[in-house]
Amino acid sequence: MTALLKLADVSKRFDGLVAVNQMKFDIKKGEIVGLLGPNGSGKTTLINLISGALSPSQGSICINGKNIAGKRADQIARAGVARTFQLVRILPSMTVLENARVPAAFGAKAHRGSEIDRIALTHLKKVGLGDKADMMPGELTYIDQKRLELARALAAEPEVLLLDEWLAGLNPSELQDGIALIKELQSTGLTILLVEHIMEAVRALCPRCVVMNAGTLIADGPTNEVLANPDVVAAYLGDEYDA
C-alpha cells in the first residue's frame, strides 16, 4: 500500500542551525503516529514544513504521491493537510461559528454558500461546541478554545491532521476527554501525526512513534519499543519527561 504522507530527505536550515535534518518516514492512511522528541528537537518546524508555514531547504513531502514541499499553505490545505498550532490561533474578533467557517471555505473542498455553515457546524458539534457557536472565542474556557482550534482544522476536511501538542495544558479529566476525542477522529479514518509530550496520551493513542533529536530521526517503530530504545531514553535525559 502506498503511503498517504511520505517524507524523504526533508531538511530545514535557519542560518547556521539545521532544525530538521534529512527526516524520512511514511504514514499510511488511517494511521495515528506520535512525533516525539525533547524540546527544540525540530517537531514544530517539521509540522510547519508539512503544512506549508515554512518551506523546506531540501527534500520531498508527498501526499498521495504528489509532492507538496515548498507549496503555499493554502495549496497544501487543498491537498488535504490541516494542523493545529502549539499556541492556539483562533480569530478573536469572530464568533466561534465564523472561526469554523473560514477553513470550510478555504480547506480541501472549498465549500460555497450554505454548505459552509453546515460544514462549520458539523465540526463544532463533533468537538462539543455545538451549543457555543454564537459565542466569542474570548468567552470560551481554555479547553473550549482548544476544541475550537481543532474544529477549525477539521472543518478544512483534511486527510492528514497534524496536532502540535493539542493536549498540552489540559487538566486530568479534560485530558481524558481530549484523548477520547482524538480516538473518535481516528475511528472515522482520519490520518493523524501527533506531536505530544504527555506519554499517557502517546501510549493511549499511538501504536507507532517517530522520534527526533536535534533535528534528526533517531527512532521509528512500535511505541513500546521506541520508548525503551536507549537512544531515545538518552535524548530525553535532562528534559522534562513524564513517561
Kindly tell me which residue out of 5, 11, 23, 42 binds ligand ADP, with binding defined by CB under 6 A.
Answer: 42
Q: Least CB distance from residue 32 to Mg ion, whole Å?
A: 19
Which of 156, 176, 64 is closest to 111 using CA atoms? 156
Pairing of strands 160-164, 208-213: unpaired
Q: Least CB distance from residue 164 to Mg ion, whole Å?
A: 6
Q: Which does 180 bind (CB under 5 to 8 A by kind): Mg ion, ligand ADP, none?
A: none
Please say whether the dihedral angle defined by the alpha carbons of residues 124, 126, 131 and 136, taken in this order, is positive or negative. Answer: negative
- Alpha helices (runs of H) in 79-218, residue ranges in sequence order: 96-106, 114-126, 142-155, 172-187, 199-205
For residue 39, state whether it binds ligand ADP (rule: CB under 6 A).
yes
Q: Which does 186 bind (CB under 5 to 8 A by kind): Mg ion, ligand ADP, none?
A: none
Kindly tell me which residue out of 10, 19, 82, 218 binds ligand ADP, with binding defined by CB under 6 A.
Answer: 19
Q: Which is nearer to ligand ADP, 126 or 197 (CB)?
A: 197
Report the distance separating Cα 122 and Cα 119, nearest Å: 5
For residue 44, state whether it binds Mg ion (rule: CB under 5 A).
yes
Strands (E), the chain: 5-14, 17-27, 32-36, 58-63, 66-67, 81-83, 160-164, 191-195, 208-213, 216-222
Q: Which is nearer to ligand ADP, 159 or 196 (CB)?
A: 196
Q: Which residues pair with 221 in a beta bridge?
A: 209
Q: Least CB distance from residue 45 to Mg ion, whole Å?
A: 8
Report the distance separating Cα 183 and Cα 178, nearest Å: 9
For residue 128, state whether it binds ligand ADP (rule: CB under 6 A).
no
Q: Which is nearer to ligand ADP, 176 or 216 (CB)?
A: 216
> Footprint of Mg ion on this chain (CB under 5 A)?
43-44
> Footprint of ligand ADP on this chain (CB under 6 A)?
14, 17, 19, 37, 39-45
